[in-house]
Amino acid sequence: MEKREKLYEGKAKILYLTDDPELVIQYFKDDATAFNAQKKGSIHQKGIYNNRISSQLFQLLEKQGMATHFVEQMNDREMLVKKVDIMPIEVVARNRVAGSLAKRMGLAEGITLAHPILEFYYKRDDLGDPMINEDHIAVFELANKEEVAGIKKAALAVNEFLRDWFAEINISLVDFKLEYGRYGGQILLADEITPDGCRLWDMQTEEKLDKDRFRRDLGKIEEAYREVYKRICQKTGCIN
């Protein structure tokens, strides 16, 4: 696979074209941002852990029959993926109260929800990724009704599987962000599933094992990412 010119660079990843027009290389950086890039920094080896974690989780989902953009992990920082047309919608699945939901509802963090909540956000950094609903999606033609229905069904299935799977390694999947893209008539789960976009708490201690450690200046950020990967490997058998 020949790596060619840069296609796109975001806050945490770089996409490169390849000699196959259907495939791109996704490179994971150590850069870290929070609060719509108002806070910036770097987490040592974050890109390595995120690439490894996301690769393992995408493979687990594929085995469950859930379609993703994942093709293969190429090395420590690079993942080969299908060249999808990313939809301008972020989907957040919530199992417990935390973050912006706690602020909006005036609730303490950690409360378990009666059932998962799905939220939609308009993927626009310059606008602060505002929350939107299905009417916004329809009126502004961000996706059609069939696509939204498919995304909701897929996101809930991903959440149910990962919530239960993480519980088996003593991690509570509090909430997480998903992105989807169009590819050859399909809607595929894309981007990444990592501690950057998930809230992951130890089930006994409630210790945060995610990017909240960077957002809230809690320290031991790299150690948290490494711990998540270590527990995943203990269950999947991947090399730690």
pLDDT < 50 regions, the chain: none
Task: Count up the domains in the chain and report the number.
Answer: 2
The CATH number of whichever domain residue 107 belongs to comes to 3.30.470.20
Task: Identify the pLDDT of residue 39.
Answer: 86
* Domain housing 90: 85-220
The answer to whether position 240 is within a domain reads no
Condensed to tens digits (0 to 9), the pLDDT of residues 159-188 reads 999 999 999 999 999 999 999 999 999 999
The answer to whether position 135 is within a domain reads yes
Q: Are 125 and 186 part of one and the same domain?
A: yes
The answer to whether position 189 is within a domain reads yes
CA distance 198 to 193: 7
Task: Identify the pLDDT of residue 240.
Answer: 65
The answer to whether position 235 is within a domain reads no
**Contact by Cβ (8 Å): 173, 97:** no
Supply φ then ψ for residue 141, to 5 degrees. 55, 45
CA distance 106 to 112: 15
Task: Identify the pLDDT of residue 35.
Answer: 82
Condensed to tens digits (0 to 9), the pLDDT of residues 203-229 reads 999 999 999 999 999 999 999 999 999
Q: Give the residue carrying structure tokens 């770089």.
A: 14
Q: Are 155 and 102 part of one and the same domain?
A: yes
Task: Identify the pLDDT of residue 221.
Answer: 95
CA distance 201 to 110: 10
The answer to whether position 225 is within a domain reads no
Q: Are 171 and 112 part of one and the same domain?
A: yes
Q: Are 28 and 95 part of one and the same domain?
A: no
CA distance 60 to 64: 7
Q: Are 96 and 50 part of one and the same domain?
A: no
Task: Identify the pLDDT of residue 36.
Answer: 75
Q: Are 78 and 149 part of one and the same domain?
A: no
CA distance 136 to 239: 44
